[in-house]
């Protein structure tokens, strides 16, 4: 048994969708959740910027003594995961591989849509993983740059969000996709709006489910599961007086998640 916490980070409130699944599937595990509010959104940043951000957060979480780290951000997983594995001695997992594997398992017509950030779409990482599983799969990746700012502003029920959903979903529906991957952990927070437009006949894939299953598998294999010792600490980065600082992030993060 190992009661050290799991580290989990994202650019803002999106990773709370992974935390929600983690607390359901592994309720005995303690977590340090890091929301990098000062530097969001990640999707428009350069690879060098993303790698530097990852290095900074991994150093912080490693210094806090975590036993496993979940990169609860598709952009960071796509750009920096392999690089970051050399930066920490603890197991490190991202969300893209588990999401792709789930989509591969559930699609029937072999047409898969991916909603993601600009950076993730530019790398076409979902397409590469999925077509390596089956070259006959057709993968349509759609960048959604308006989603994260709207979600973080608490505008998830706004006319702007509705217009963005139509803008980004329409091209995928025209391609006849039967499976849709939330290629950003923020997007399950607007699932109601997405389903209202696209309908309930699609298979909706939240990579958080497969990611937590993989985390559980690793913890079991490495004898790292905790006993009944669950605590959750929130840390957020903010700009105060022109300086980048870390603060208790519970109020900030939960306020954003309520959107």
Q: What is the pLDDT along the chain (259 residues), one digit of tens a residue?
A: 899 999 999 998 899 999 999 999 999 999 999 999 899 889 889 999 999 999 999 999 999 999 999 999 999 999 999 999 888 899 999 999 999 999 999 999 999 999 999 999 999 999 999 999 999 999 999 999 999 999 988 898 899 999 999 999 999 999 999 999 999 999 999 999 999 999 999 999 999 999 999 999 999 999 999 998 799 999 999 888 888 888 887 655 554 443 3
Structure tokens at 126: 């979902």
Does residue 104 sit in the same domain as residue 198? yes
Does residue 74 sit in the same domain as residue 196? no
Is the Cα dihedral 245, 208, 212, 110 positive or negative? Answer: negative
Overall domain count for the chain = 2
Where does a domain end: 169, 187, 207?
Answer: 207
In a domain, 190, yes or no: yes
**Which residues are known binding-site members for substrate?**
10-11, 42-43, 74-75, 185-186
Q: CB-side exposure of 123: number of CA atoms within 13 Å? A: 21
In a domain, 86, yes or no: yes
In a domain, 185, yes or no: yes
**Which residues are known binding-site members?**
10-11, 42-43, 74-75, 185-186
**Strand, helix or coil for residue 144:** coil
**Residue numbers annotated as active site:** 73, 184
* CA dist., res. 254 & res. 231, Å (int): 16
Does residue 178 sit in the same domain as residue 239? no
In a domain, 1, yes or no: no
Does residue 176 sit in the same domain as residue 140? yes
Show the domain range for 144: 96-207
């Amino acid at each position: 048994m190992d009661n050290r916490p799991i580290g989990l980070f994202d650019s803002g409130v999106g990773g709370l969708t992974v935390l929600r699944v983690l607390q359901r599937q592994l309720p005995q595990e303690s977590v340090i959740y890091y929301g990098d509010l000062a530097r969001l959104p990640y999707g428009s940043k350069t690879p060098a910027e993303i790698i530097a951000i990852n290095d900074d957060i991994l150093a912080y979480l490693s210094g806090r003594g975590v036993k496993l780290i979940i990169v609860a951000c598709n952009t960071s997983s796509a750009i920096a995961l392999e690089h970051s594995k050399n930066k920490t001695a603890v197991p490190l997992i991202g969300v893209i591989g588990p999401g792709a594997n789930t989509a591969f398992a559930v699609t029937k017509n072999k047409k898969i849509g991916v909603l993601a950030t600009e950076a993730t779409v530019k790398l076409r990482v979902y397409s590469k993983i999925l077509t390596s599983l089956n070259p006959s799969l057709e993968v349509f990746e759609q960048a959604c740059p308006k989603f994260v700012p709207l979600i973080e502003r608490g505008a998830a029920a706004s006319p702007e969000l509705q217009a963005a959903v139509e803008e980004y979903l329409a091209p995928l529906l025209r391609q006849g996709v039967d499976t849709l991957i939330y290629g950003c952990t923020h997007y399950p927070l607007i699932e109601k709006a997405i389903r209202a437009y696209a309908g309930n006949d699609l298979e909706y894939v939240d990579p958080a489910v497969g990611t937590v299953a993989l985390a559980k598998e690793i913890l079991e294999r490495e004898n790292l599961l905790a006993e009944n010792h669950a605590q959750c600490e929130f840390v957020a980065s903010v700009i105060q007086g022109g300086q980048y600082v870390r603060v208790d992030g519970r109020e900030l993060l939960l306020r954003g998640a309520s959107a």
